[in-house]
Amino acid sequence: MAERIDLHIHTEESVCSTFGFPDLRERIRSMSLKLATVTDHGTVKACLKLKKELKEVLIIPGIEVTAQEGDFIVFTGDEDYLKSLGAFIGSVKDLRRDESTVVIWAHPRTPHRFLWTEPSPQKSLIDRVLPLVDGLEIFNGHILEMTAQGFIMPLYYKNLAAMAEVGKVALTAGSDTHTGKSFMKCWTEIEVEVKSERDFVNAIRNRKTHPNFDPEFYDLDPQALLNGH
């Protein structure tokens, strides 16, 4: 059975979030999760603390950074490298990608907040970014909520899936929770056994992922969105 992991989570270490660390820790325990991460903005403090306190869970260290081309999530077992990204300023091309590190393009977006039909403002941006990432976040909790409200068209998801296929990158999903309410309501299924951080990195690099979400929570159908409906 594929293991589920929410690949986009913010705790109160992110200035935009109120999701407390103790709450996150206990939810992971109560759900008996085998894999977990934290992807705070500019800090790995909560993620590394989780790693120390939940020895029974494989914690994948991660961080979200804002680059010139948008937001990106970096996963690696190299904790010193993640710490060095705390004050990151630059382009996605400046982010490291190697056998131990992967980069996910978080919620690719247009400059317009409403009625998105394209996954990026222009083709040139897609052409620049896709060769520089290992994965693309197709389902994001905030974006799904806006879709349910009619602000984002289903074609957005079909376009993202097509982008991932062209770029031969993995598709991922995460709740992007800032309060804890949506934690694990949007997740990535890892289709191979993951016993180490390197196994996780390889799963992303080899596209052994399946994005999914709770259709009742978001009042949407995952497969319908992937088909642009």
For residue 118, give Cα distances in angstroms to 60, 155, 162, 172, 221: 31, 8, 11, 18, 20
Neighbour count for residue 229 (Cβ, 10 Å): 11
DSSP string, 117-163: -SSSS-HHHHHHHGGG-SEEEEEEHHHHHHHHTTSB-THHHHHHHHH
Q: How many helical (H) and strand (E) elements, i.e. helices and strands, does the chain have? A: 9, 9
Q: Look up residue 55 and give its two tokens.
A: 């020895």
pLDDT in tens, the chain (229 residues): 689 999 999 999 999 999 999 999 999 999 999 999 999 999 999 999 999 999 999 999 999 999 999 999 999 999 999 999 999 999 999 999 999 999 999 998 654 445 556 555 567 778 889 999 999 999 999 999 999 999 888 888 998 999 899 999 999 999 999 999 999 999 999 999 999 999 999 999 999 999 999 999 999 999 999 998 9
- 3-state SS class at 27: helix
- Spatial strand order of the sheet with 186-190 comes to 3-5, 186-190, 209-213
Q: Phi/psi at 106 (nearest 5 deg)? A: -85, 135
Interatomic CA distance for residues 109 and 114, integer angstroms: 10
Determine the straight-line distance between the first and last CA of the chain, rounded to whole angstroms.
28
Interatomic CA distance for residues 92 and 115, integer angstroms: 26
Interatomic CA distance for residues 208 and 200, integer angstroms: 9
pLDDT at position 118 is: 57
* Pick from 68, 132, 144: nearest CA to 104: 132
In three-state form (DSSP H/G/I as H, E/B as E, the rest C), the secondary structure along 54-82 is: CCCCEEEEEEEEEECCEEEEEEECCHHHH
pLDDT at position 9 is: 98
Q: Look up residue 113 and give its two tokens.
A: 């907040």
Interatomic CA distance for residues 29 and 87, integer angstroms: 31
Neighbour count for residue 12 (Cβ, 10 Å): 16
**Domain covering 3-226 in this structure, CATH number:** 3.20.20.140
